[in-house]
A = this chain, B = another copy of it.
Amino acid sequence: MPMRRKNYHGPVEATVDILAGRWKPLILWALRDGTLRFGQIEEELSAYTPNITKRMLTRQLRELENDGLVVRKVYPEVPPRVEYTLTERYRSLMPIVKLMYEWGKEHMAGQIGYECDGKRTG
């Protein structure tokens, strides 16, 4: 398990970092309305954009979990069931993410080098 130990220069860098992953904003967006199973998240993301691999989805979810933005609950069943839910910690960050969404929507569209495959996502 790759443990994150980073030396940041300040709080902004740290905050940016926990959101900086190829699929994290999308995952957090997918979970906005409640709990989802692993496969449901996978399905949600596939609706937005070309497939994320199980490997990457697992990694991003583990990092979000390590950073305390989601909780992972495993049900000891066969076949296995694993559910993911946003934490209060992330809920407190969510308004800021929403502002980033609005800012990006207004200021990034049409930027050079900017292209977005998402349909209506986070």
Residues of A at under 8 Å CB distance from B?
3-17, 19-20, 22-26, 29, 48-49, 66-68, 89, 92-93, 96-97, 99-105, 107-108, 111-118, 121-122
Contact = CB atoms under 8 A, between A and B. Distances in A.
Contact of A6 (B3, B8, B115, B118): B115
A75 to B, nearest CB: 26
A44 to B, nearest CB: 12
What copy number does this chain have within its complex? 2
Given A11-B108, A104-B11, A96 B93 contact: no
A113 B15 CA distance: 13
A114 B12 contact: no
Contacts of A122: 10-12
